[in-house]
């Protein structure tokens, strides 16, 4: 069995040697999940809900431990990682409550009645990325199990620790063996096996658009259900009539949180030309307060990049970039990348169009509302976005016209487990969160019962 060395990106020290599963291990996990399905569905909804609530409570009780594990594994700040653990617990509570609320309908017919049933799919394959490992896992485990499925979950092999711990906590909560199976391995070996396996009825994938396309093509062979949560190049639009101080103060968090390794990162800031210079000045001042350092310290706002390889990838965008501001980085070991604010004159440059997935933001001017929306929508991506204005009608008009799935007005928030979340265009397919996601984890069946009248 091959192993992978997991490195703490802050210290570059070895934290674990992770053994990697094979396709045969994946087959065994799928078989276990298949065998556990009938038993899981035979538990009455109130008891299944109770098990998931216990799981949620255990996640919350271990929030600090999980947070520290995540921070050591991928460099997320401790405040953020503990918050993610609590958010994972809240997500699990929400879907525990959904079990008894998700149902079908009764539709009248002639000579009978129609009953609709949302039926579980069976075994679902869940594939998650390295940037928010624990939260991405919870977003998928919750609805998958609530809908009556059993699951094989493959975390990103470089950040598997919190997901493995979630698997242990699920067992500790009393969720029966085989219902949730965590298999750590590479995408090519374990992930692809989930795509190929005939007993896996759906793949729920979060990751890059490039891999998402391959997975979608792979699923086509069996018309396998697939949902995709992919990359983004989200726009933060600041109109001249906005509260500029507020917009500028909020902007650093929207791009530099998690070192920019956030699918919803507002990596393009579009600012109306008449206030461009003023906004830039305020934004740079705010960015200077975004402290980079040891992510274990509660005062740190940004840690290192998750891996050396990812740091090298981000540098392919940032090396030689002409910036309006570049921060310092800590001395010593660690995969540090500075905060960079650029104002490129060419809006078609790669840094303006591609997902950098690092603490690099471009600030671009626009003339009017139509121009802002043209620049915003001139992207293959469409995950999220923000609009800053004091004009309510303009805010709503622009929000409706933005080609993105999750939009905030006078805020940069993106994700709430009780509201639908997902992307337009190449940012994804399907939605996570809210009761809507359960449609992606069930098949709708209609039964007609003749009543003889």
The rounded distance, in Å, linking the Cα atoms of 290 and 48 is 44
Q: Count CB neighbours of 22 within 10 A.
A: 16
CB of 203 to ligand NAD, least distance (A): 8
Measured at the CA of 315, the angle between CA 311 and CA 321, to 5 degrees, comes to 150
CB of 310 to ligand NAD, least distance (A): 8
Selecting among 157, 229, 355, 432, the annotated active-site residue is 229
State yes or no: is 229 an active-site residue.
yes
Summarize as ranges the residues that interact with ligand NAD (CB under 6 A). 127-132, 136, 154, 156-157, 186-188, 191-192, 195, 206-208, 211, 214-215, 229-232, 263, 355, 357, 383, 423, 428
DSSP 364-429: EEESSHHHHHHHHHSSS--SEEEEE-S-HHHHHHHHHHS--SEEEESS-----TTS-B--SGGGEE
CB of 65 to ligand NAD, least distance (A): 23
CB of 211 to ligand NAD, least distance (A): 3
C-alpha distances in Å from residue 207, one per residue of 293, 426, 453: 26, 12, 53
The rounded distance, in Å, linking the Cα atoms of 57 and 412 is 29
State yes or no: is 264 an active-site residue.
no
Residues ≥6 apart with Cβ < 8 Å to 255: 236, 265, 266, 267, 269, 359, 361
Selecting among 84, 263, 264, 376, the annotated active-site residue is 263
By beta-carbon proximity to ligand NAD, the closer residue of 187 and 303 is: 187
By beta-carbon proximity to ligand NAD, the closer residue of 54 and 431 is: 431
3-state secondary structure of 24: helix
DSSP 8-class letter at 272 = E
CB of 120 to ligand NAD, least distance (A): 23
Annotated catalytic residues are 229, 263
């Amino acid at each position: 069995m091959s192993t992978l060395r997991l490195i703490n990106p802050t210290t570059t020290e070895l934290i674990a040697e992770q053994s990697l599963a094979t396709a045969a291990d994946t087959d065994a996990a799928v078989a276990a999940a298949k065998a556990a399905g009938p038993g899981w569905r035979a538990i009455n909804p109130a008891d299944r809900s109770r098990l998931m609530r216990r799981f949620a409570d255990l996640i919350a009780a271990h929030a600090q431990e999980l947070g520290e594990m995540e921070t050591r594994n991928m460099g997320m700040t401790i405040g953020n990682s503990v918050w993610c653990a609590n958010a994972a617990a809240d997500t699990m509570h929400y879907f525990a409550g959904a079990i008894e609320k998700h149902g079908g309908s009764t539709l009248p017919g002639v000579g009978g009645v129609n009953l609709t049933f949302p039926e579980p799919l069976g075994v679902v394959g869940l594939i998650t990325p390295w940037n928010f490992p624990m939260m991405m896992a919870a977003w998928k485990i919750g609805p998958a199990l609530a809908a009556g499925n059993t699951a094989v979950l493959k975390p990103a092999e470089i950040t598997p620790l919190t997901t493995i711990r979630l698997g242990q906590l699920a067992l500790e909560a009393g969720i029966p063996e085989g219902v949730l199976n965590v298999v750590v391995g590479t995408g090519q070996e374990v992930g692809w096996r989930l795509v190929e396996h005939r007993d896996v009825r759906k793949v729920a994938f979060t990751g890059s658009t490039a891999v998402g396309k391959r997975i979608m093509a792979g699923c086509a062979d069996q018309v396998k259900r697939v949902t995709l949560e992919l990359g983004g190049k989200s726009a933060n639009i600041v109109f001249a009539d906005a509260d500029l101080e507020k917009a500028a103060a909020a902007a650093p968090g929207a791009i530099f949180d998690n070192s920019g390794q956030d699918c919803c990162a507002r990596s393009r800031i579009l600012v109306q030309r008449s206030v461009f210079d003023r906004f830039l000045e305020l934004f740079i001042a705010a960015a200077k307060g975004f402290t980079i350092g040891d992510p274990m310290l509660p005062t740190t706002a940004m840690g290192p990049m998750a891996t050396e390889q990812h740091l090298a990838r981000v540098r392919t965008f940032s090396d030689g970039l002409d910036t309006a501001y570049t921060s310092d980085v800590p001395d010593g070991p660690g995969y540090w990348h500075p905060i960079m604010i650029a104002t490129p004159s060419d809006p078609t440059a790669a840094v303006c169009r591609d997902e950098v997935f690092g603490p690099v933001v471009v600030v671009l001017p626009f003339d009017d509302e139509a121009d802002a929306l043209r620049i915003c929508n001139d992207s293959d991506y469409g995950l999220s976005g923000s609009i800053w204005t004091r004009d309510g009608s303009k805010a709503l008009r622009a929000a409706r016209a933005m080609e993105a799935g999750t939009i905030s007005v006078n805020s940069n928030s993106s994700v709430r487990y009780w509201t639908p979340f997902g992307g337009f265009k190449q940012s994804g397919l399907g939605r996570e969160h809210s009761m809507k996601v359960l449609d992606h984890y069930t098949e709708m069946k209609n039964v007609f019962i003749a009543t003889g009248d």
